[in-house]
Amino acid sequence: MTEQNRPEVLFLIHDVALAGEPHGIMQLAAYGKRKGWVSRVTTLKLDYLAEIEERPPQLIAASFMSADYPGFKKAFSAIKAAFPAIPMIGGGPHPTFDPDCVEQLALDAVCVGEGDQVFELLLERVEQGQGFAGLPNIRTKGNPHILEPLAHLDELPFIERDFFYEKFPIFARFKLKSFFTSRGCPYRCTYCFNASYNDMYKGMGKILRKRPVSDVINEVLALKAKYPLEYIRFADDVFQVKADAWLEEFAERFPKEVGIPFYCLMHANNVDEAVVSLLYKAGCRSACMSIESGDPELRKLMLKRNTSQQKIIDAFDLFNSYGINMYTNSMLGIPGAGFEQELASLDLSIRCKPKYGSFTIITPYPGTQFHDICVEQGVLPSDASDEMLQSTRETSVLTCFNEQEKQMQIKLLKLGPVTVRFPVIKPLTLFLVQKVPDNRLFSLVYWFFRNYLFSKYIVPVQFGTKEKVELIWRTLVEDFLQLKKS
């Protein structure tokens, strides 16, 4: 079959951000490739209707989160009205936690949970001109779904990136690329989808699954042969939970066979000398380890992060002693947090000495326990729309804070990173946060230090002039749009 008459799937996503490549659709594209399908991608920010008109695909597959629900709802209606014959399916976090949404959306079906086992079956149905009812993990209008056990990661094809890089070449040129070595997280933080996800899949397979070391190495080498690659971001929720045989093999082989430094995410509870020394040996040169709140009570009761203050400090000290550049995040605006508790987060961040200490506003994403807690406590406005619950960099939507408190949180979010890096300015920061109204200069300071610290210490990759200009423009747009409501 020639490229021209191969069937096509058009993936529809909300937008692209340099912070991460859309692994979910790239994984599905790999299954499509195996079946002889061509993948394309577009976003809600582009003229997707014109793209469909110009080259109608055989299937449209959208991946969306709750925060993007309103935009996708409109898009599905517009697409269905213009192209009623093209089958359209939705997947990702929102349909997983609200599969009934298929009844309200102009979609033919939604995929609940992992789409690995079903995507090829789905393509076969399209080839045969049949509907999707009865397929595992698939809910169609009026037909419930049956959940399949979790996928075995050693059976996954390597993700397919070419179609995405062709559409968005800056990602191909960007010398940082992301990979996964695992799926799943054993923790149950209230503000995260993993707790609900783990409940949904309880008894249906191992939650925390690791790929064979050889697969990870071979995937990186294959990509390195094709695209520029200087630094790796392992995007696993928690890269490693202990110094086990997997980490020992990885630490032995990865530096010899790949030899590219990497960044990963860790949880302080899983950090000890054995883990950090193996990570360093493997090539870990930067890592993210969230504090989330400097107040132990809030951390434990509101967030279900059962990590002591001392454990957090010891974990950072250990990473710092190996010269691994640390990035941490703390969430402001947790119900029950007054100025004292917000300052505790700033102080703990300063004590932990990360190279980049960021701050966000906690967001009650629908489908998380934290959302339910906010509803129970009556701090979520009854008219809160999904659009209001979408950003961790906008003023809090919670009613337990007055306008002045919300403004202080957002000013701390903006001035926190520079203060954590240069603690000597803390008195000035406190003065500005308490006495000076929020303004564009704070946003500019935030934008500059966020991008400077991140690119200097956390993902230190080299850019050509063209990339630099494009990146500056993109980060400016992304940051200022995110901060638009503050």
Binding site residues, ligand SF4, CB under 6 A: 185, 187, 189, 192, 194, 237-238, 267
d(CA 366, CA 25): 22
Amino acid at 337: A
Least separation in angstroms between CB 185 and ligand SF4: 3
Nearer to ligand SF4, 267 or 285 (CB): 267
Q: DSSP code of 4? A: G
Nearer to ligand SF4, 107 or 348 (CB): 348
Nearer to ligand SF4, 290 or 486 (CB): 290
Least separation in angstroms between CB 321 and ligand SF4: 23
d(CA 327, CA 76): 38
Task: Please count the CA atoms within 13 angstroms of the CA of 28 that sit on its side-chain side.
Answer: 28
Least separation in angstroms between CB 240 and ligand SF4: 13
* Cα dist from 179 to 5, 182, 250, 347, 386, whole Å: 31, 9, 14, 33, 30
Give the length of the chain.
Answer: 486
What value, to the nearest 5°, has the Cα angle with vertex 447 and ends 14 and 262?
70
Least separation in angstroms between CB 108 and ligand SF4: 31
What value, to the nearest 5°, has the Cα angle with vertex 274 and ends 272 and 277?
105
Query: What value does the CA radius of gyration of the chain take, rounded to a whole number of Å?
Result: 23
Pairing of strands 209-210, 59-63: unpaired
Least separation in angstroms between CB 195 and ligand SF4: 6
Least separation in angstroms between CB 160 and ligand SF4: 25
Nearer to ligand SF4, 65 or 189 (CB): 189
Amino acid at 154: D
Least separation in angstroms between CB 192 and ligand SF4: 3
**Closest to 22 (Cα-Cα) out of 87, 74, 92:** 92
- The answer to whether the CB of 270 falls within 8 A of the CB of 238 is yes
Nearer to ligand SF4, 42 or 368 (CB): 368
Least separation in angstroms between CB 238 and ligand SF4: 6
d(CA 39, CA 8): 6
- The answer to whether the CB of 288 falls within 8 A of the CB of 265 is yes
Nearer to ligand SF4, 306 or 404 (CB): 306
Nearer to ligand SF4, 160 or 236 (CB): 236
Least separation in angstroms between CB 72 and ligand SF4: 23
Beta strands per DSSP E along 80-158:
88-91, 109-111, 138-140
Nearer to ligand SF4, 371 or 411 (CB): 371
Residue 465 backbone dihedrals phi, psi, to 5 degrees: -60, -40
CA end-to-end span of the chain, whole Å? Answer: 53
Nearer to ligand SF4, 61 or 303 (CB): 303
